[in-house]
Amino acid sequence: MATAYSVTLRTPASTATLIAAAVLIVALFAAPAYASRGMIQDLFFILTMLTLAQYWNLLAGYGGLVSVGQQAFVGIGAYALYGAVILGGADPILSILLGGVAALLLAIPTAFFAFRLQGAYFAIGTWVIAEIARLSVAQWRGVGGGTGTSLPRDALRELAFVDGIRALFDVRASAARDILSYWLALTLAVITIAGVYWLLRTKRGLALAAVRDNTEAAKSVGVDASRMKWVVFLTSAFGTGLAGGLIYLQKARISPDAAFSVTDWTAYVIFIVVIGGIGTIEGPILGVLVFFVLQSLLADYGSWYLMVLGLIGISVMLFAPRGLWGLISERTGLQLFPIRRRLVGGSNTKREV
């Protein structure tokens, strides 16, 4: 038979991953049935940070675009939701989508400016845009200006599905809202990971890896590097905006300084990705778990916590630049989300010459 060789993406580990992931997702969706409210809130935090981390990783790890301005998209997504709900009386859950669209719209001029800047200057350029967005939103009196505002009680009370969740789990309205937010966060995280994985496996995604590895070489084989940069940047902005809307729907209170915080929405996210392993899908997943454990252990120590996080991030970058996942996959060869195509077969059939 001449069909002994085949090109495949699948590894034994990736098949196992697929099964394990399906089980895990079902278990997570069922979590409200057996988990406490505090645990649901923790999981919400983990899942939203994971989503942000995946999008930043797509930008920096795959697209080579180191943005320090992702807080712009979290903030604008959140404020679009608040604006629509408070000023337009829109449905809060549908308004999450509006948050994504708002972030996308902001991303277009942002990319136009920031792509004029090379490398490191791109990073600070995105930061400037985020500052402009923060300062501009602080001028927006309708949503509380510089001091911020809360979601109206009516809007929260009338939130879709909440009554059903109350009846199902026999919980109070506020807990039911947390469960709803949690399910949305879980859905968003799953779609994000699946979507990023799908994007990276397409022809376009492989081209992305080529651009990251060597822009000049990629150009010479006809990869349009600048179009890929746009695709990645806009995708990340849209997803980050969705996450921003969802995060602040759950918080129910917003202010420009919090929603556009470089520490909360960019610094933490960068550390998650760097510690976990930049340029892999597994890295941010591992990173967010490490991050959560560190935060649980050290959050009481305030600024010490951030210092430790910063020092760990620096050490990882200096001594293990591929992060924890890099260390693991180097030693074990494990790949849960294989992206490179591999040539398999042929060992037990004779080559026909």
Site residues for another protein per CB under 8 A: 60, 64, 66, 68, 113, 116-117, 119-121, 123-124, 127-128, 131-132, 135-136, 138-139, 146, 262-263, 267, 270-271, 274, 278, 302-304, 306-307, 309-311, 313-314, 317-318, 321
Render 128-169 in DSSP notation, one character per residue.
HHHHHHHHHHTT-GGGTGGG-EE--HHHHHT-TTHHHHHHHH
Q: Give the shortest CB-143-to-another protein separation in angstroms.
A: 16
Distances (CA, A) of 271 to 98, 172, 243, 284, 331: 28, 36, 18, 9, 23
Q: Give the shortest CB-239-to-another protein separation in angstroms.
A: 21
CA dihedral 183, 186, 191, 194 (to 10 degrees): -150
Nearer to another protein among residue 38 and residue 119 (C-beta): 119
CA angle 244, 188, 51 (to 5 degrees): 60
The gap from C-alpha 133 to its chain's centroid, in whole angstroms, comes to: 20
Q: Are 197 and 58 in contact (CB under 8 A)?
A: no
Q: Give the shortest CB-184-to-another protein separation in angstroms.
A: 30
Q: Give the shortest CB-114-to-another protein separation in angstroms.
A: 9
Distances (CA, A) of 138 to 69, 144, 146: 17, 8, 4
Q: Give the shortest CB-135-to-another protein separation in angstroms.
A: 4
Nearer to another protein among residue 254 and residue 275 (C-beta): 275
Eight-state DSSP code of residue 309 = H
Nearer to another protein among residue 196 and residue 269 (C-beta): 269
| Separation CA 220–CA 1 (nearest Å) | 37
Nearer to another protein among residue 87 and residue 311 (C-beta): 311
Nearer to another protein among residue 29 and residue 113 (C-beta): 113
Q: Give the shortest CB-2-to-another protein separation in angstroms.
A: 33
Nearer to another protein among residue 79 and residue 182 (C-beta): 79
- Identity of the residue numbered 309: L
Nearer to another protein among residue 128 and residue 191 (C-beta): 128
Closest listed residue to residue 343, CA positions, set 11, 2, 16, 1: 11
Q: Give the shortest CB-34-to-another protein separation in angstroms.
A: 37
Closest listed residue to residue 264, CA positions, set 58, 43, 70, 41: 70
Where b means 16+ CB within 10 Å and e means fewer, 98-119 reads: bbbebbbbbbeebbeebeeeee
Q: Give the shortest CB-123-to-another protein separation in angstroms.
A: 6
Nearer to another protein among residue 138 and residue 223 (C-beta): 138
Q: Are 180 and 159 in contact (CB under 8 A)?
A: yes
